[in-house]
Structure 1
Amino acid sequence: MILLLGPIIGGFLTISNNTWRTTFWFCFAFGALVVIVSFISLPETFRDSKRFDVEEKLPTAAISSATIITAETSSTSVDTATINKNEIQQQETEARKKKVINPLRPILLLCYPHISLTSLAAGVAFAGMFTVKTIVPTLSEQKHHFAWQVSLSYSGAGCGHLLGALINGQLSDRLLLSSRTKRGGRHKVEDRITINIWPCCLIFIPGRLLLFGWSINNNLTYWSAIIGFGIQCFGVNQITSAMGAYWSDAIHPSQAASANAAGVFSSMVLGCCLSLTAPPMIDRIGFGYYSVFLAGLSWLSAGLLLIVKLYGQRIRRHFGFEQNVERKD
């Protein structure tokens, strides 16, 4: 919903007396409001595992000891429990000292082919969408002479994201369970790459890019560009959501957040590179042929996903992720 309303609100803010500065003041006020409401209303979800695990284990040990010892040996058991508690605390202190925070550790997960290939596929989808978003204002002003109406050009993108999120939430789970049922109840991580992803990579995203590019290149109605942008965002939502779930399942559970961070990092880097190179490439070859270039990247990403779909389980087994290899539910 924010993706749908945000550009529209921003378009009207830019034509106010304070021009573009109003947009930043609005974002500051809105962000402050979100922080305050979240701090007051949302419960704390962080769990201090070290603290709670110690407190839970010791009473259990004391109770089990009390059931098998007599009253004469109770003092000995208390001393033993105290010693065990001190040993546990000492081990935790040593482990905490040895633990080194490495912000680059999530990026190292890209060394695993099943993470790097899916990250590239999701990155291509996101980067193509991000690139179009950055050049829409310039193209709309040059081709259709829009002013504040540029914000309405993003309405198709907002509808595409909204519709994609609603459909993907229902469709991906059903397709995942269907694949598991056909396999006799056995779960396979690569089932996350569901069948709805292929039309997005092969048809929706590249078709939309071609529609957007050549409609602007040939000075067609702006509605074709708006509708095309919505179709692309619909497809991108399907791919990025599925890849996020795959990264969480295809790696060790303790590294799920790091795997998602690595995937998002790849998307942002590709988005940065494509958006920076887009203006000079468009000036050189035109947006029509540039859209062919982006469509080709989308078809290439489909090939990367196909490799993971067919050989992902072998890759994971080769790198020792046995706990995530096909299992019986």
Structure 2
Amino acid sequence: MSSSLALSAAPSPSPTIIERPLSPLEEEILRDESRFETYGGDDPEDPPPKSHSPRSPHAEHADSPLDPNLVAWDGPDDPENPQNWSYGYKWWVTVVCSIMTINVTFASSAPSSATLYIAADLHTSAEVSYLVTSIFLVGYVFGPMFWGPGSELVGRRPIFVLTLTLYTLFHIGQALAHNMQTLLITRFFSGFFACAPLTNSGGVIADIWDPINRGVATSIFATTVFLGPTLGPVVGSFITVSSLGWRWVFWVMMIFAGSCSIFAILFLPETYAPKILETKAKRMRKQDPVANKEIYAESERVEWSTSELLNRTILRPFKMLFVEPILLLVTIYLSVVYGVIYALFEAFPVIFIRIHGLSVSHDGLIFLGVGIGSAIGTCVNIWLLRPYPRLMREWRGFPPAEYRLYGAMIAGPSLVVGIFWLGWTGAYASVPWYVPAISTVLIGMSIALVFMSFLSYLVDTYLMYSASAFSANTIVRSAVGAAFPLFTVQMFENLGVQWAATLIGGVGLLLAPMPFLFFKYGARIRGNSQFAPCIDLKIAKMLEAEKAAAEKKGEV
């Protein structure tokens, strides 16, 4: 995720308009808010980039907001500001991002049904063929280090154009590969470029949506993150067993990727505010080179040093991972859940083909249950967001992050139930196949709710540092997801389906209390954090002071 999540994660709440003198606490809150408009919300150990702004004779500080040469929005209703785009256009952009995400996640799982056919044709072992899925996710590990920060340097749109084009072209190597080495190398680079929509689409949504409406948009977008992987095996299985063969899985993936890429390139606008203002400054200088020669945008005067870029892309995410208990525990939980998603790709054939005798194509259809469950999870999450407009008013725009955890409270126990249900009914051929298949709906709903809830929790907890939090989470999560398919089949064969599911469900059971504990102790943990702004805690103090002052005034 890009750090622009922070940019629009902090709207101007009602306390910013105060007619009386500001108290020290209110001044501190406003200082925290102003940091959301910086490039990444740099901490004291990571100074902001150097800005070489030309000195203006009309301003004491040329690089301050009072500098008349510094390009800004033309008032709060500037139509160029993505936050002011029409409701319909915002949804159009969200749909474009969702289509891109469906496509790249579809590519992660579509070949999973063809792995044994690939192994036979390319004369490799079944264990090596499992790398076809894993190596794609390894690309997800490295990609976020480049595409998130890159979108802040050159803008969202150029990154999308570059990555989608190369991602599409690398499908040629996969479709024409005559040895496993070529297939795996091209799969890695395909995943490396494919992760850009996953890491940057969240930033696009944050660029254009206000916090109240962003919850619904994020929920729908998150559904596409799970919809793609569930559709992949369905389509891949039917193509594999048809007369076309496994190579056409990759040709179809390329056609799908090319179509979605052209659609995104044609219809996805630039949404990153600093780059839009930079374009505006260039346009103004071109319109009147003499009068506007001193006009500039802040991004044109920013110079990132190598150490600053290294800190933002690699060092800070891992530093946060080691010093932030909330980020560490959430990352562990989401990594396990993410691993379960990709473990299903290898576990389902064991359960439904070997034990229940379904065909490869019918086994692929089982994944539709996960997709249906994800859609149900989205509806549940949207329903849970109903009180949020009221909470925004009550908390002056910054309600406690723990209010985002209700979905995870539901999903934690239900995920454990779903996994046990799948394992202990799927292990026996005497149990009809549809009994374990129904459990996939509950699993899909739980996975979607866990992700929506915890990712929203990270955004509201770290605000201007959410980009670094997401980078750390994505890197670790993708590494775990890549590892799960490598041992899933062996685990289910050696332990038995019921006991392998019990092992995974047991881990889920250990993690299930986490959202409840965070709901009770999260504010205290955030209060001792190096990176969590905790504006809600400061607002709570301010509200208590206002209440005490009102009571004292009433007594007088």
TM-score category, normalised to shorter length: 0.7 to 0.9
Q: 1:261 to 1:21 in 2, by over 3 A?
A: same
- Tell me the CA shift for residue 177 of structure 1: 5.7
Residue 104 (structure 1) aligns with: 314
User: In the alignment, what sits opposite 2:259?
Assistant: 33
Tell me how far apart the structure 1 counterparts of residues 243 and 449 of structure 2 sit (CA, whole Å).
Answer: 40
What is the aligned partner in structure 2 of residue 167 from structure 1?
Answer: 380
Q: How much does 1:99 deviate?
A: 5.4
Higher relative contact order (CA 8 A, sep 6+): 1
Name the TM-score, length of structure 2 as normaliser: 0.48
Letter in 2 for 1:151: G
Deviation digits for residues 47-84 of structure 1 (CA, Å, limit 9, x no counterpart): 3359649959xxxxxxxxxxxxxxxxxxxxx9xx97xx
Change (3 A) 1:134 1:176: farther
For structure 1, which runs of at least 5 residues remain unmatched after alignment?
57-77
Q: Distance in 2 between matches of 1:152 and 1:315?
A: 44
1:60-209 correspondence to structure 2 within 5 Å: 92=301, 95-97=303-305, 100-102=308-310, 103-105=313-315, 106-111=317-322, 112-147=324-359, 148-168=361-381, 170-174=382-386, 176=388, 187-194=399-406, 196-202=407-413, 204-209=414-419
Residues 183-231 of structure 1 show CA distances to partners (whole Å, capped at 9, x for unaligned) of: 899721111111x4223211x2111111111112122111012111111
Q: In structure 1, what is the Cα distance between the partners aligned to 2:535 and 2:246? A: 50
Tell me the distance in 2 between the aligned counterparts of 1:322 and 1:2.
35
Distance 1:165 1:116, change over 3 A: same
Which amino acid counterpart does residue 116 of structure 1 have in structure 2? L
Distance (whole Å) between structure 2 residues aligned to residue 310 and residue 29 of structure 1: 49
Mapped partners of 2:418, 2:354: distance in 1: 21
Q: Cα–Cα, structure 1 residues 198 and 50, in superposed 2: closer, same or farther, change >3 Å? A: closer
Equivalent pair of 2:426/2:433 in contact (CA under 8 Å): yes
- Cα deviations by residue, 1:85-118 (Å, 9 ceiling, x for unpaired): 89x99x945x434653223232332121111111
Matched, 1:19 2:229: no
Instruction: State the partner residue of 2:435.
Output: 224
Q: How far has the Cα of 1:159 moved from its partner?
A: 0.9
Q: Which residue matches 2:478?
A: 268
Partner of 1:238: 449
How far residue 24 of structure 1 moved from its aligned partner, in angstroms, is 0.8
What is the RMSD computed on CA atoms of the aligned residues? 3.4
- What letter corresponds to residue 209 of structure 1 in structure 2? I
CA shift in 2, pair 1:278/1:98, >3 Å? closer
Moved more, 257-266 or 115-124: 257-266
Instruction: Summarize the Cα distance change of 1:188–1:225 in structure 2 as closer, same or farther, 3 Å threshold.
Output: same
The offset of 1:34, in angstroms, is 0.5
CA distances 1:154-190 after superposition (whole Å, capped 9, x unpaired): 121111112212321x223125567779989972111
Structure whose alpha-carbon radius of gyration is higher: 1
Equivalent residues of 2:270, 2:276 under 8 A apart: no
Distance in 2 (CA, whole Å) between partners of 1:229 and 1:132 is 10
Structure 2: gaps (5+ residues):
1-226, 283-290, 544-556
Is the 8 Å Cα contact of residues 129 and 232 (structure 1) preserved in structure 2? no
User: Which amino acid counterpart does residue 28 of structure 1 have in structure 2?
Assistant: M
